[in-house]
Amino acid sequence: MSFHGSTARLSEARRVAIFGGTHGNEMSGVALVNLWIKNSDDIQRRGVDIKPFIANPKAVEKCVRYVETDLNRAFTPENLSASGGDEFPYEVRRAQEINRMFGPKGSPEAYDVIFDLHNTTSNMGCTLILESSKDHFNLQMMNYIKKAISPASCLVLLNEHPLLKYSTCRSVAKHAVGLEVGPQPQGVLRSNIFEAMRVILKHALDFIELFNEGMEFPPCTVEVFRVNERIDYPRDANRNIIAMVHPNLQDCDWEPLNPGDPMFQTFDGKTIPYQGSCTVYPTFINEAAYYEKQQAFVTTRRETLAASSIRKA
Amino acid sequence: MSFHGSTARLSEARRVAIFGGTHGNEMSGVALVNLWIKNSDDIQRRGVDIKPFIANPKAVEKCVRYVETDLNRAFTPENLSASGGDEFPYEVRRAQEINRMFGPKGSPEAYDVIFDLHNTTSNMGCTLILESSKDHFNLQMMNYIKKAISPASCLVLLNEHPLLKYSTCRSVAKHAVGLEVGPQPQGVLRSNIFEAMRVILKHALDFIELFNEGMEFPPCTVEVFRVNERIDYPRDANRNIIAMVHPNLQDCDWEPLNPGDPMFQTFDGKTIPYQGSCTVYPTFINEAAYYEKQQAFVTTRRETLAASSIRKA
Ligand SMILES: [Zn+2]
Ligand SMILES: [Zn+2]
């Protein structure tokens, strides 16, 4: 990246991948990627090589999130630099393979953009997930997509938290974009979620084509929700869950949660209020896959990021 | 059963079981049964022995539907009469065990009533499932529950189909009652679904207590939806699914589906209409667990059953 005046000059995005089935029971991405592998008309763009790719085929075959360990947590420096083979869990070996195909992570040879398609059981609507507040290419893409799909909306979740950030598949690319659409149960394919995901991808690829063709994108601001804190379910002394997400909070992803608001309801009917010191915006509320991660929801803070003007170098 | 005038005289229901976790990832039943095992205040009724019971503990532990084979299809005469041990799948051995504890199926020693608690990803609301149109005790119970929860509603699904009926856990009892509440994703516990299930069980147990105390229940009619036909997803020559439940049908469980109405939408956007010859009432629409059973939904016909007056013998 270099600047000419206030405009950031960035390399073209020539190599783009679309991952589905990073979690094998999140069906929209699996169906879309399989569709595009058979017929790529939808995702062809001038001057861009776009590769649809099933990230965890064994998990897709079994219709489970993962076979041995969560692939979307496996792209750590330790895993990617380890040598050896069969003694590693399947997903660690798959992460190494993906890193060889689309990376190496952090290198100039890495893919320019990876979109990773996920579903959630939470009522999150269309959510784009970024890992850096300083990636002006991605921020401009977010701005472009938000404008293109208006009056429908999509929100941006920024996971830049020093402890809660995790080592995603898409982090192999120079620009990592997660797309999380819900609510959709695991193992279920809903036409409305499929369609919402398809439309967002369309606009994202349009943006890349326009950028590669030399369009300048003027400075803009992007509203994001920054990951703040992970909230676990209330538990007894044996670590068993003793409460559910409160009906007032269930399905209210992205809505303000204020100190004192109902947060959980115990099995015997007592309300547990939110005890934080300020308003937060919960998301991933009651996501099926996060019970095992001891997470009932994650709190976020609303923030406005500035993106500089960008143009192809 | 004997008749005095037009009143059927039936035995008391002294032994009642409540099964949760027949499918290990259907969380409302698991949570309620675990709660009642710890504290049975909610389910105590005069003169009734009520046993809350986790039917498939291994599947619950792994939060999967089943470990080796579907427990709720395993109560066949062949399985229950087979002798031998470790060579059978876990769920077949468990079925034999459950049959010894709560049966034997079809014998005078069997439990009087088994309630089996299930969740579905379909938008079915509260559904009670019966296996016989001739069980006046159960029909009277349905009538009682429907009146008790009004203006909330619960529907009755009658699975008496010669081919589509399957060998459920609850079929071990003299009176088998399934309770299916949704929509709830697998592996997720929603407070509204938990509460709906708790309330229906409360009324069901109240009915049993009143019956045992000698109350006479006058003749009544019960509207049921009789299982008619299983509809699979459209597939290509390789048996891969090529379409989704149409957005006009998704979430419309129990609503009339007329010949010509949209039924599926292919991945490339074409509508496939319902081609049947008369109006049906679909249910279990887009249930996650039924992809493997080649079932997109089941059609039903509406029917009104007459229940005779009943009273304790
Ligand atoms: Zn995912
Ligand atoms: Zn079930």
Q: What is the pLDDT of residues B239-258, one digit of tens each?
A: 999 999 999 999 999 999 99
Specify whether B216 is located in the same domain as B270. Answer: no
Q: Alpha-carbon dihedral of residues A43, A48, A54, A55, nearest 10 degrees?
A: -140
> What's the pLDDT band for A3 if we cut at 50, 70, 90?
low
* Residue A246, domain extent: 233-293
- Closest C-alpha to A145, from A112, A172, A181, A108: A181
Q: Are residues A113 and A255 in the same domain?
A: no
Q: What is the pLDDT of residues A246-287, one digit of tens each?
A: 999 999 999 999 999 999 999 999 999 999 999 999 999 999
- For range B173-182, the mean pLDDT: 98
Question: Which amino acid does the sequence have at A291?
Answer: Y
Whether residue B123 is found in the same domain as residue B162: yes
In this predicted structure, what is the pLDDT of residue A83? 81
Domain shared by A31 and A168, yes or no: yes
Does A4 score more than 70 pLDDT? no
Whether A244 sits inside 8 A of B194 (CB atoms) is yes
Residues B56 and B25 in one domain: yes
Q: What average pLDDT score do residues A95-105 get? A: 97
Residue percentage of chain B with pLDDT more than 70: 98
**pTM, entire model:** 0.95
B66 CA to centre of own chain? 17
Partner residue facing B185 (CB), from A247, A265, A288 = A288
Is A158 inside any structural domain? Answer: yes
Report the separation in Å between the CA atom of A83 and the middle of ligand 1, taken as the mean of its atom positions. Answer: 27
Query: A13 pLDDT exceeds 90?
Result: yes
Q: Average per-residue pLDDT in chain A?
A: 96
Say which ligand is closest to the CA of A182.
Answer: 1
Burial B8-36 (b: 16+ CB within 10 A, else e): bebeebebbbbbbbbbbbbbbbbbbbbbb
Task: Quote the ligand 2 centre to B120 CA distance (angstroms).
Answer: 7
Please write the tens of the pLDDT for every residue from B218-236: 999 999 999 999 999 999 9
Instruction: Please give the structure tokens belonging to residue B304.
Output: 């009104």
CATH at A281:
2.20.25.160
Residue B242 confidence (pLDDT): 96
Query: What contacts B201, CB < 8 A, 6 or more positions away?
Result: B18, B32, B43, B115, B117, B179
Assess whether A263 and A220 both reside in one domain: no
* A69 and A122 both lie in a single domain: yes
Kindly state whether residues A168 and A252 are assigned to the same domain.
Answer: no
The pLDDT score that the predictor gives to residue B85 is 76
Q: In chain A, what residues touch B241 (CB-CB under 8 Å)?
A: 189
Q: Tell me what pLDDT residue B83 has.
A: 81
Mutate one of A41, A42, A189, A239 to test the B interface: name it (highest B CB count within 10 A).
A189
What's residue A86's pLDDT? 82
How many contiguous H segments (helices) and E segments (strands) does chain B have?
6, 15
Confidence band, pLDDT 50/70/90 cuts, at residue B162: confident
Annotated binding-site residues of B for N-acetyl-L-aspartate read 65, 180, 290
Q: Which amino acid, residue B89?
A: P
Q: How confident is the model at residue A118 (pLDDT cuts 50, 70, 90)?
A: very high
B114 CA to centre of ligand 2 in angstroms: 15
Task: Choose among B121, B187, B247: nearest Cβ to A191.
Answer: B247
CA distance B276 to B98: 40
- For ligand 2, the distance from its centroid to the CA atom of residue B26, given in whole angstroms, is 6
| Local confidence band at B272 (pLDDT 50, 70, 90 cut-offs) | very high
Do B250 and A190 count as a contact with CB atoms less than 8 A apart? yes
Q: Nearest C-alpha of chain A: how many angstroms from B243?
A: 9
Task: Give all strands (DSSP E) within chain A, no chain letters.
Answer: 2-4, 7-10, 15-20, 49-54, 113-119, 125-130, 154-158, 175-182, 220-231, 243-245, 262-266, 271-273, 281-283, 297-307, 310-312
Of the listed ranges A2-6, A131-135, B6-10, the one predicted with least confidence: A2-6
Q: Answer whether residue A121 shows pLDDT above 70.
A: yes
A141 and A244 both lie in a single domain = no
Q: Catalytic positions of A, please?
A: 180
State the nearest Cα–Cα gap between B217 and chain A, in angstroms. 32
DSSP B44-56: -BTTBEEEEEES-
Q: Do both B82 and B196 map to the same domain?
A: yes
Nearest CB neighbour to A288, from listed B187, B265, B267: B187
CB-CB neighbors (< 8 A) of A239 in chain B: none
In a domain, B190, yes or no: yes
The CATH number linked to A12 is: 3.40.630.10
Looking at chain B, which residue has its C-alpha nearest residue A27?
B288
B188, B244, B288 ranked by CB distance to A286: nearest: B188
- Region A184-203: mean pLDDT is 98
CB contact under 8 Å between B35 and A267, yes or no, is yes
E strand intervals along B58-158? 113-119, 125-130, 154-158
Q: Do B191 and A288 touch (CB under 8 A)?
A: no
Taking an 8 Å cut-off on Cβ atoms, the answer to whether B244 and A190 are in contact is: yes
For residue A247, the model assigns a pLDDT of 98
Please indicate, yes or no, if residue B301 is contained in any of the structural domains: no
Q: What is the mean pLDDT of chain B?
A: 96
User: Does residue A298 lie within any of the structural domains?
Assistant: no
Residue A261 lies in a domain: yes
pLDDT band (50, 70, 90) for residue A1: low
Shared domain check, B276 and B128? no
User: Which residues does residue A235 pair with via DSSP β-bridges, in sequence order?
Assistant: A241
Spacing, Cα A143 to ligand 2 middle (Å): 43
Over 70: is that where the pLDDT of A152 sits? yes
A147/A15 same-domain check: yes
pLDDT tens per residue across span A278-311 = 999 999 999 999 999 999 999 999 999 999 999 9
Interface of A with B (CB under 8 A): 31, 35, 39, 63, 121, 183, 185-192, 194, 241, 244-247, 250, 265, 267-268, 286-289, 291-292
- % of chain A beyond a pLDDT of 90: 94
* Under 8 Å between Cβ of A59 and A23: yes
Task: Taking residues B158-185, report their average pLDDT.
Answer: 95
Dihedral, B197, A285, A117, A181 alpha carbons, nearest 10: 70
- Phi/psi at B90 (5° precision): -50, -45
Binding-site residues from annotation of B for substrate: 72-73, 166-170
Q: Which residue has the higher pLDDT, B6 or A193?
A: A193
Distance (Å) from the C-alpha of residue A68 to the closest C-alpha of chain B?
Answer: 13
B180 in catalytic set: yes
Domain count, chain A: 2
